[in-house]
Amino acid sequence: MLVSEPEAVKVDEFTEDDGTVVLELAVGEDDYGRVIGRGGRTANALRTVVKAAAVRQQRRVVVDIVD
């Protein structure tokens, strides 16, 4: 499991004026390091998977990890 507090995971979705979907990901305080990963690898992998799914639907999606 990627996070130790799954109940603290929160995703908010916003659509910008240009149609870009922004997903804001918030996790428990102790889980930010796990979600970002060493050198940002986990966060980049998450963004890559979301982007690949979005391209299949011809959409633009951005994932922001917020605190």
In a domain, 41, yes or no: yes
Rounded distance, CA 46 to CA 9, Å?
14
In a domain, 27, yes or no: yes
Q: What is the pLDDT of residue 3?
A: 94
In a domain, 20, yes or no: yes
In a domain, 1, yes or no: no
**What range does the domain containing 33 cover?**
6-65
The count of structural domains within the chain is 1
Mean pLDDT, range 36-56, rounded to an integer = 95
Q: CB neighbours of 24 closer than 8 A, spacing ≥ 6? A: 11, 12, 13, 14, 64, 65, 66
pLDDT per position as a tens digit, 10-42: 999 999 999 999 999 999 999 999 999 999 999
Task: State the CATH number of the domain containing residue 46.
Answer: 3.30.300.20
What is the overall mean pLDDT for the chain? 95
In a domain, 51, yes or no: yes
In a domain, 18, yes or no: yes
